Amino acid sequence: MIASTAGGEAGPVAIICGAGKFPYAVADAVISRGRGVVLFALRGFAEPAKVAAYPHHWCHVGQVGRFVRLARAEGCEEMVFIGSLVRPSIGQLRFDLTTIRMLPRIIAAYKGGDKHLLSGVGRIAEHFGFRLLGAHELAPDILVPEGKLGLHAPSGRDLADITQGLALLAVMGRFDIGQAAVVAAHRVVAVEAAEGTDRMLARVADLRRDGLLRLSGKVGVLVKAPKPDQDRRFDLPSVGTRTVEAAAAAGLAGIALEANGAISADLPDMIRAADTAGLFVVGVAPATAASNKP
Amino acid sequence: MIASTAGGEAGPVAIICGAGKFPYAVADAVISRGRGVVLFALRGFAEPAKVAAYPHHWCHVGQVGRFVRLARAEGCEEMVFIGSLVRPSIGQLRFDLTTIRMLPRIIAAYKGGDKHLLSGVGRIAEHFGFRLLGAHELAPDILVPEGKLGLHAPSGRDLADITQGLALLAVMGRFDIGQAAVVAAHRVVAVEAAEGTDRMLARVADLRRDGLLRLSGKVGVLVKAPKPDQDRRFDLPSVGTRTVEAAAAAGLAGIALEANGAISADLPDMIRAADTAGLFVVGVAPATAASNKP
Write the pLDDT tens digit of every residue in A116-161.
556 667 777 888 899 999 888 999 999 999 999 999 999 999 999 9
- Pairwise pLDDT comparison (A230 vs A262), residue with the higher score: A262
Neighbours of B137 (CB within 10 A): 13
Q: Per-residue pLDDT for A33 more than 50?
A: yes
Q: What is the pLDDT of residue A100?
A: 77
Mean pLDDT of all residues belonging to chain B: 87
Q: How far apart are CA B191 and CA A82, in angstroms?
A: 26
Query: Would you state the torsion angle of the CA atoms of residues A61, A65, A66, A69, taken in this order, to the nearest 10 degrees?
Result: 140
Q: Per-residue pLDDT for A108 more than 80?
A: no
Confidence of residue B89 (pLDDT cuts 50, 70, 90): low
Q: What is the pLDDT of residue B116?
A: 56
Average pLDDT on A21-41 reads 94
Phi, psi of B124 (to 5 degrees): -65, -45
Which residues of B are less than 8 Å from A178 in CB distance? 188, 191
Positive or negative: CA dihedral A220, A221, A227, A228: negative
- Pairwise pLDDT comparison (A174 vs B115), residue with the higher score: A174
Which residues of A are less than 8 Å from B200 in CB distance? none
The model carries a pTM of 0.84
| Least reliable range by pLDDT among A227-231, A278-282, A285-289, B65-69 | A285-289
- CB within 8 Å: B212 and A186: no
* Residue ranges of A 67-126 with Cβ closer than 8 A to chain B: 86-89, 111-114
Q: Which of A184, A203, A207 is nearest to A192 (CA)?
A: A203
The SS3 call for residue B57 is strand
Give how far the C-alpha of residue B281 lies from the chain's centroid of Cα atoms, to the nearest Å.
17
Q: Per-residue pLDDT for B34 more than 70?
A: yes
Average pLDDT on B205-220 reads 90
Q: Per-residue pLDDT for B121 more than 50?
A: yes
Interface test with A, best of B61, B191, B192 (most A CBs within 10 A): B191
Q: Per-residue pLDDT for B8 more than 60?
A: no
- Pairwise pLDDT comparison (B230 vs B154), residue with the higher score: B154
Q: Per-residue pLDDT for A81 more than 70?
A: yes
Neighbours of B259 (CB within 10 A): 18
Q: How far apart are CA B215 and CA A74, in angstroms?
A: 37
Burial of A33 (0-12, 13-18, 19+ CB in 10 A): middle
| Least reliable range by pLDDT among A204-208, B129-133, B219-223 | B129-133
Q: What is the pLDDT of residue B40?
A: 96
Q: Per-residue pLDDT for A79 more than 90?
A: yes
- Pairwise pLDDT comparison (A140 vs B91), residue with the higher score: A140
Q: Please give, rounded to a whole number of angstroms, the shortest distance from the CA of B188 to a CA of chain A.
A: 7
Q: What is the pLDDT of residue A87?
A: 61
Q: How far apart are CA A248 and CA A244, in angstroms?
A: 6
Q: How far apart are CA B115 and CA B226, in angstroms?
A: 11
Q: Per-residue pLDDT for B290 more than 70?
A: no
Q: What is the pLDDT of residue A230?
A: 79
Neighbours of B275 (CB within 10 A): 16
Confidence of residue B118 (pLDDT cuts 50, 70, 90): low
For residue A235, list its beta bridge partners.
none
Q: What is the pLDDT of residue A234?
A: 78
Q: How far apart are CA B88 and CA B67, in angstroms?
A: 17
Q: Per-residue pLDDT for B293 more than 60?
A: no
- Pairwise pLDDT comparison (A30 vs B291), residue with the higher score: A30
The runs of H, that is alpha helices, within B33-90 are 48-51, 64-73
Q: Per-residue pLDDT for A220 more than 60?
A: yes
- Pairwise pLDDT comparison (A126 vs A182), residue with the higher score: A182
Angle between helix B197-209 and A197-209 (nearest 10) = 140
Inter-residue contact B170 to B223 (CB < 8 Å): no
Confidence of residue A106 (pLDDT cuts 50, 70, 90): low
Q: What is the pLDDT of residue A5?
A: 36
> Which amino acid belongs to residue B292?
N
- CB within 8 Å: A191 and B187: no
Q: How far apart are CA B215 and CA B133, in angstroms?
A: 43
- CB within 8 Å: A188 and B113: yes
Is B187 an interface residue toward A (CB < 8 Å)? Answer: yes
Q: What is the pLDDT of residue A114?
A: 52
Q: Per-residue pLDDT for A113 more than 80?
A: no
Q: What is the pLDDT of residue B165?
A: 96
- CB within 8 Å: B194 and A189: yes
Residues 6 or more apart whose CB falls under 8 angstroms from that of A163 comprise A287, A291
Q: What is the pLDDT of residue B216?
A: 83
Q: What is the pLDDT of residue B111?
A: 63
Q: Per-residue pLDDT for A2 more than 50?
A: no
Query: Nearest residue of B to residue A203 by CA position?
Result: B195
Phi, psi of B146 (to 5 degrees): -80, 150
Q: How far apart are CA A30 and CA A28, in angstroms?
A: 5
User: How do B13-17 and A280-284 pair as beta strands?
Assistant: unpaired
Q: Per-residue pLDDT for B258 more than 70?
A: yes
Indicate the DSSP class of residue B250.
T
Question: Can you tell me the ipTM of this complex?
Answer: 0.82
Inter-residue contact B56 to B39 (CB < 8 Å): yes
Q: What is the pLDDT of residue B166?
A: 95
* Residue ranges of A 159-178 with Cβ closer than 8 A to chain B: 164, 167-168, 171-172, 174-178
Q: Per-residue pLDDT for B149 more than 60?
A: yes
Mean pLDDT of all residues belonging to chain A: 87
Query: Nearest residue of B to residue A112 by CA position?
Result: B186
Residues 6 or more apart whose CB falls under 8 angstroms from that of B230 comprise B115, B173, B236
Q: Please give, rounded to a whole number of angstroms, the shortest distance from the CA of A91 to a CA of chain B.
A: 11
| Least reliable range by pLDDT among A34-48, A231-245, B30-44 | A231-245
Q: Per-residue pLDDT for A65 more than 60?
A: yes
Interface test with A, best of B89, B177, B293 (most A CBs within 10 A): B177
Q: Per-residue pLDDT for B289 more than 70?
A: no
Query: Nearest residue of A to residue B114 by CA position?
Result: A187
- CB within 8 Å: B211 and A172: no
Q: Please give, rounded to a whole number of angstroms, the shortest distance from the CA of B75 to a CA of chain A.
A: 35
Q: What is the pLDDT of residue B264?
A: 94
Inter-residue contact A74 to A43 (CB < 8 Å): no
* Angle, vertex CA B188, rays to CA B182 and CA B189, nearest 5: 65
Neighbours of B120 (CB within 10 A): 19
Q: Per-residue pLDDT for B11 more than 80?
A: yes
Which residues of B are less than 8 Å from A191 in CB distance? 172, 177-178, 191-193
Confidence of residue B294 (pLDDT cuts 50, 70, 90): very low
Which residues of B are less than 8 Å from A172 in CB distance? 168, 171-172, 191
